[in-house]
Structure 1
């Protein structure tokens, strides 16, 4: 997780520069960075004193992992449960998720933890199952999912991982794990390139999807951390709009009216379905995902809610009619932009 935080911090400006879908507000890089940072800090806060980055077994042979290069999400070796550690990171990310991209990544992270629960080692089969579960959950979290976004990148990575794992016949070595990770990253890259042709707004601007590039970076960080190998710096070479000399594309786009409303709220399954339906009627980019697997004494689950609406008042009224929201944020979709093309450091 630490690698992903660093990589997204380094690339946030370029991700912001090409962020024009679903709204041209230039904050995808900032949102992903802040969301991943929340996940990483949760792991750091929970790590036993002096734990550092203790080694934990991943595979059994080939592609050895140098000391100190183990995956961040396995730094709590005492837990002996990769899924539990990843779930902790996912829940922290969900509670602090920013924007569409941060919320979808949080959904992805929480879902990926589920097949890993109770396992001390990451194998190719477990990784394939985790990526597949995660991409399905991310697609289902959105009321109106759109191909050509980070969803397509997640799906491509999951499908490629499953295909390669199926050919390993149960091989749980590091070599098999490496093949699955390599395939997932390569498929993600190909999916990022395809995004430009899948969405008219991206094709018109000659850029790839910002969220998709962010997801590609995260997957490469996973590959690098698990296998103890360097990040593939060449991955982003040639992606349209990603050269440093390219302008901030979003600054030439019309301002988007309306606001983004986000909150966390405890709801029964029926009330959650009702809220999704009502928000679909009021706005778009509706994302609802469960935070944590268990209900409270009243049978309510915690949900992270995200929606774009013309006016926040009706949306907040509907939300509050069903429960008591926490972590409420209301942000203008049209962020102030200075002449240099930079967006506010606070993002959304």
Structure 2
């Protein structure tokens, strides 16, 4: 798990500029690559900094749960929030197990994709959700054919099938969303999820990343322009926070945020409630004005870790910025230095 997330951090750092360039859905704000990178980095740092007493070191699920909670608390944007939901959910079937098997991986991928779909108020096919689902379905089909085989060979077959299905799903995203079809690109979050899954395959099987997976993906050639920069600016802001709520209040919050905006994601951070029966929830929404949204949230609970960012972000396709991001990511494994915070 640690090797997987370390590889994913480096890969997303290397590819963040291209992911940003084709990020046009749900808004063309050009930050999917940066958001995924920073969210995975939070998960990786949590494992690097954890002490033996903080988590059961030989429990695959416990290690992944530690990473998932850190990712959830520091998630960035739609893509980062959905990936943190994916991590937290994937950890649950793995809890108490010291080794990953084909059956456990299939169960983890299935739990993760279901939870990610349910976290969004209005989930849309043709996004990273579709890629998660395709990978999970392929993994389940291969595992079912193995009749409980828990060998490393069976695990490798499941991983190969999941990555292959994820690639096919990424290619299909272009035809599933009008905005992507008009711009002739695939979904940025879907590509990011494909990279993450290939990093898992690489970490488990000990092989190299399959860089040829990205060959021919529409919009992903390094010679292509920053497609998002030519699209109209989106009005409004992205609001993110963490708030402790009862399940009933969480349902109320989701309904009210749906009325104020869109891209609403509510995901439970903690597995257990506090003494008052409240859970911590990570909240994400796109709204026209942060004031009414935050005021409404405060009627239900006290938000923390609040961030508000303009959806119409400054767009600078300067290749020097991209080079700096790639160099930073490439230095992580070699030098172990603290990475600078990316500003997109």
What TM-score, normalized to structure 1? 0.90
- Match of 2:230? 252
- Match of 1:346? 343
Q: 2:55·2:63 contact (CA, 8 Å) conserved in 1?
A: no
- Match of 2:335? none
Matched, 1:37 2:37: no
- Match of 1:6? 10
**SS of the residue 2:24 aligns to:** coil
Q: Give the root-mean-square deviation of aligned CA atoms.
A: 1.6
Matches within 5 A, 1:43-62: 43-48=47-52
- Match of 2:188? 210
Distance in 2 between residues matched to 1:127 and 1:14, nearest whole Å: 29
**SS of the residue 1:5 aligns to:** helix
**SS of the residue 1:322 aligns to:** coil
Selected match of 1:106 from 61, 64, 84: 84
Report the alpha carbon displacement of residue 340 of structure 1 after superposing the two structures with TM. 3.8
- Match of 2:299? 321
Report the alpha carbon displacement of residue 336 of structure 1 after superposing the two structures with TM. 1.3
Distance in 1 between residues matched to 2:158 and 2:233, nearest whole Å: 42
Matched, 1:190 2:194: no
Q: 2:126·2:187 contact (CA, 8 Å) conserved in 1?
A: yes
Matched, 1:145 2:145: no
Report the alpha carbon displacement of residue 200 of structure 1 after superposing the two structures with TM. 0.5
Report the alpha carbon displacement of residue 78 of structure 1 after superposing the two structures with TM. 6.1
Q: 2:55·2:66 contact (CA, 8 Å) conserved in 1?
A: no
Deviations 1:47-95 (A, max 9, x none): 559xxxxxxxxxxxxxxxxxxxxxxxxxx99622100000000000000
- Match of 2:103? 125
Distance in 2 between residues matched to 1:158 and 1:10, nearest whole Å: 26
Q: 2:56·2:62 contact (CA, 8 Å) conserved in 1?
A: no
Distance in 2 between residues matched to 1:213 and 1:308, nearest whole Å: 22
Unaligned segments of structure 2, at least 5 residues:
323-340
Q: Which runs of 4+ in 1 moved over 6 A?
A: 341-344
Matches within 5 A, 1:79-94: 79-94=57-72
Matched, 1:115 2:100: no
Q: 2:29·2:312 contact (CA, 8 Å) conserved in 1?
A: yes
Selected match of 1:165 from 132, 136, 143: 143
Deviations 1:140-195 (A, max 9, x none): 00000000000000000000000000000000000000000000000000000000
Q: 2:43·2:68 contact (CA, 8 Å) conserved in 1?
A: yes
C-alpha distance 221-298 of structure 1, shift in aligned 2 (>3 A): same
**SS of the residue 2:299 aligns to:** helix
Matched, 1:16 2:20: yes
Matched, 1:295 2:273: yes
Q: 2:235·2:288 contact (CA, 8 Å) conserved in 1?
A: yes
- Match of 1:228? 206
Deviations 1:224-282 (A, max 9, x none): 00111111010100000000100000000000000000000110001000000000000
**SS of the residue 1:286 aligns to:** strand
Count of matched residue pairs: 321
**SS of the residue 1:20 aligns to:** coil
